[in-house]
């Protein structure tokens, strides 16, 4: 799984980049078909916007985003949203296999 972290209108410090990379790697626990994760951090004045695009085999891309003042909090909320989406899809697939 490839994790790409980009900064729009700013540079991302190494400690933030490593934090995001570590956390994003853990998403494979929730859905094992993840091929790539693209994270875009956009500074819009005092606000930060974090957008995650998760590409998975055999499924449309998952997109989550959050806007707020604290970059780490925005990223953590995005992670929670992504976990919920991935878990929901995995449960749907599992339930469909069980019902057949």
* Segments making up each domain of the chain, as ranges: 2-99
- The whole-number pLDDT of residue 99 equals 66
Query: Which residues neighbour 17 within 8 Å (Cβ) at sequence distance 6 or greater?
Result: 5
- The whole-number pLDDT of residue 1 equals 86
Q: Which residues of the chain have pLDDT under 50?
A: none
- The whole-number pLDDT of residue 9 equals 85
- The whole-number pLDDT of residue 34 equals 93
- The whole-number pLDDT of residue 100 equals 58
- The whole-number pLDDT of residue 23 equals 94
pLDDT in tens, 28-42: 998 888 999 999 999
Q: CA 6, CA 17: separation in Å to the nearest integer?
A: 9
Angle between helices 71-99 and 14-25 in degrees, nearest 10:
10
Task: Report if pTM > 0.85.
Answer: yes
What architecture (CATH level 2) is domain 2-99? 2-Layer Sandwich (3.30)
- The whole-number pLDDT of residue 96 equals 73
Contact between residue 20 and residue 39 where contact means Cβ atoms under 8 Å apart: yes
Q: CA 21, CA 36: separation in Å to the nearest integer?
A: 12
Q: CA 24, CA 3: separation in Å to the nearest integer?
A: 7
The two structure tokens encoding residue 44 = 């819009």
């Amino acid at each position: 799984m490839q994790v790409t972290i980009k900064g729009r209108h700013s540079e991302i410090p190494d400690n933030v980049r490593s934090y995001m990379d570590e956390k994003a790697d853990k998403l494979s626990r929730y859905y094992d078909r993840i091929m790539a994760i693209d994270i875009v951090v956009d500074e819009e004045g005092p606000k930060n916007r974090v957008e995650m695009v998760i590409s998975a085999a055999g499924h449309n891309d998952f997109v989550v985003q959050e806007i707020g003042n604290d970059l780490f909090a925005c990223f953590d909320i995005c992670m929670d949203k992504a976990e919920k989406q991935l878990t929901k899809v995995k449960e749907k697939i599992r339930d469909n296999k069980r019902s057949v």
